[in-house]
Structures are given as C-alpha cells and as structure tokens.
Amino acid sequence: MVSYKELGLVNSREIFAKAVKGGYAIPAFNFNNMEQMQAIIQACVEAKSPVILQVSAGARKYANQTLLRYMAQGAVEYAKELGYSIPIVLHLDHGSSYELCVDCIQSGFSSVMIDGSHLPYEENIALTKKVVDYAHQYDVTVEGELGVLAGVEDDVKAEQHTYTRPEEVVDFVKRTGVDSLAISIGTSHGAYKFKPGTDPKIRLDILAEIEKQIPGFPIVLHGSSSVPQDLVKIINENGGKLKDAIGIGEDQLREAAKSAVCKINIDSDGRLAMTAAVRKVLTEHPDEFDPRKYLGPARDELKKLYIHKCEAVLGSAGKA
C-alpha cells in the first residue's frame, strides 16, 4: 500500500471547500503522457492554481498504471522545481468498479470517482457507499455521479441526457457519504456536444435546483470542454476533418464555477490543442521527424490553453 500522503499529493476535501466558498472551480485535466503532465503542471504553477490530475481507465491502459502514478509523484517535485508548490490531487476518472477504485487507492491515488450513473438508483447507492467506506479509511475522497451524460462514457453510448433529478440528490449524498457529486445538466464528453443549429446551452436552472437541495455541497461537471473554434480551424486547415465540433460556451462554465460547482473536467480541448499544433508543425515542416519538434510545440499550446482555463474560465488562478 502506497499512501498518497507520502507522495506529497492531497485529497480534494480542503480545496473543494475553498473553491465553493470562493466561487471558483478547480481544473481537472486528464493526462496520458509526459507532455500533457508537464503542460498541466507548468500552467498551474504559472497560474498558481490547485489542480486535479485525472487518470481514466483508458489512460491506465495506454500509458501503464504504474508509470502514470510515478509521473504524478514526479509532478509534485516538478512543481517545486518550477518554483511554486501547488496542491495536486491524483484522481481516478470514471472508476467503473469497486476493485479498480481499491487498486488506485492502494497505489497512491488521493481521490477516486466511482461512476455508478448507468446503474439503477439503489445499485448506484450501494456501489458508491462501498467505495466510500473503503476510501475514507485512507482519507481518500470520493466522487459519485447521478444522472447520465449524453455521448460516450465508459464505452457506453447514451443518445440522450438523463438530467440529474434534484429530488434525488439529498438522499444520494446522505446514504453514500460521497465527498462530491457529478451531475448531468447538458454537458457531454467529446468534441461534438451539440447538434449544429441547436441552442448550445447547459441547464443552469437544474444546477440551481440541485444547489437548493444540498447548499454548499461540492458539485462536479464532466464533459466541460469548450471546443475552441480557432483550434478546430487549424486542424481542418492542416489536413484534419472535424465537422460541426461544438462545445460548452466559456461564459456558461464561468457562471457555473461561481456556484457550488468546484471541479470542472476538461480533456477534449487539450486533445484539440495538441492535435492542432502537431498538424501545423508537420504541415509546415514535412521534413521534420524528431518527436520533440512537434510534441514540444504541442506542449506549449496545451500550457497556454490551461492557463487560459484557470484565469478566464474557472477562476482558479491565484488560489493555490
């Protein structure tokens, strides 16, 4: 058993409480490789923002779970080396089973999500509570989810949003003992969140109803990429084919961050930033074959994007 405390990581309890009070949200950025991790840490150190390093099941498969954990451990030292120590959470994104959560907790994660959102309500409660009971023995914080996001999640494809029902949240939070709650209010995973010609709005009215039920309780938004159109344009001008990619308006996320939403998950925007940079470099320099020559610029663009998120969208800059 490796405790996250020995690695210099923190759980999410204190930073969430501060974020709820302060009207901002902590960025939860996914990483799968070294350049993404470097960009996240460089950006959050420069912005002086707390950060949640997110690891999905797919990331564990791609990069190897042990390597990712050591990378997160290294991230703590790396931040110090860059000159400023920020709170860093290592979080399991969309944990699909009790066993996976236990495995992550034992290997140094400070926070886990158990995603029982596709299960019938009582089964979601039972599974979430089981994870909470285990995690809390080690002071690891747990995120649960109520409601289903449209799009692809955990290889399950939902055609339509099942919005979180505000009347269920008090019961769910009380009976599971979760530390934060992910909700479904119209955000979705990936780069195609809205159909062209539809009104790209999330249901801030449902968020307000939920907040009324559990005032001050930490709320999480998944699927919160904004799909910057300048990045889509660079990709498409350099051989890419992304048609009708539409995300959540940054103004809506800023509004949500002022509420009890204290964790905002962003993955796809980072993928777009890296892809745009790589495509541009390789189009402009077809003779280039040193990975550092395209992964370096990709890392720089990612860093810029993440600083922008902290400063202009989540409001987390300067809060570390």
Binding region for ligand 13P (CB under 6 A): 30, 93-94, 189-190, 222-225, 265-269
Distance (Å, rounded) from C-alpha 20 to C-alpha 22? 6
Stretch in the footprint of ligand G3H (CB under 6 A) among 12-20, 51-59, 192-200, 229-237: 51-59
CB atoms within 10 A of CB 18: 15
Handedness of CA 129, 130, 135, 139 (dihedral sign): positive
Q: Which residue has the tokens 């949240």?
A: 169
Distance (Å, rounded) from C-alpha 211 to C-alpha 105? 29
Q: How far is the CB of 94 from ligand G3H (least distance, A)?
A: 5
Distance (Å, rounded) from C-alpha 268 to C-alpha 30? 9
Out of ligand G3H, ligand 13P, Zn ion, none, what residue 58 binds, judged by CB under 5 to 8 A for its kind, is: ligand G3H
User: Binding string to Zn ion for residues 247 to 276, with x set by CB under 5 A, is what?
Assistant: ------------------x-----------
Q: How far is the CB of 94 from ligand 13P (least distance, A)?
A: 6
Q: How far is the CB of 90 from ligand G3H (least distance, A)?
A: 15
Q: Under the criterion CB under 6 A, does residue 189 sit at the interface with ligand G3H?
A: yes
Distance (Å, rounded) from C-alpha 267 to C-alpha 224? 8
Burial annotation 152-181 (CB, 10 A radius, 16+ → b, else e): ebbeeebeebebbbbebbeebbeebebbbb
Return the HEC string of 147-177: CECEEEECCEEECCCECCCHHHHHHHHHHHC
**Which of 28, 281 has the CB closer to ligand 13P?**
28
Distance (Å, rounded) from C-alpha 217 to C-alpha 108? 25
- Would you call 93 a catalytic residue per the annotation? yes
Distance (Å, rounded) from C-alpha 117 to C-alpha 124? 6
Q: Under the criterion CB under 5 A, does residue 222 sit at the interface with Zn ion?
A: yes
Q: Under the criterion CB under 6 A, does residue 200 sit at the interface with ligand G3H?
A: no
Q: Which residue has the tokens 């539809």?
A: 198
Q: How far is the CB of 162 from ligand G3H (least distance, A)?
A: 16
| Chain residues 5-44 in contact with ligand G3H, contact rule CB under 6 A | 30
Closest of 96, 90, 98 to residue 12, by C-alpha: 90
**Which of 111, 280 has the CB closer to ligand G3H?**
111
**Which of 91, 280 has the CB closer to ligand 13P?**
91
Q: How many residues bind Zn ion (CB under 5 A)?
A: 2
Q: Under the criterion CB under 6 A, does residue 267 sit at the interface with ligand G3H?
A: yes
Q: Under the criterion CB under 6 A, does residue 94 sit at the interface with ligand G3H?
A: yes
Which amino acids are annotated catalytic?
A: 93
Binding site for ligand G3H (CB under 6 A): 30, 56, 58-59, 93-94, 189, 267
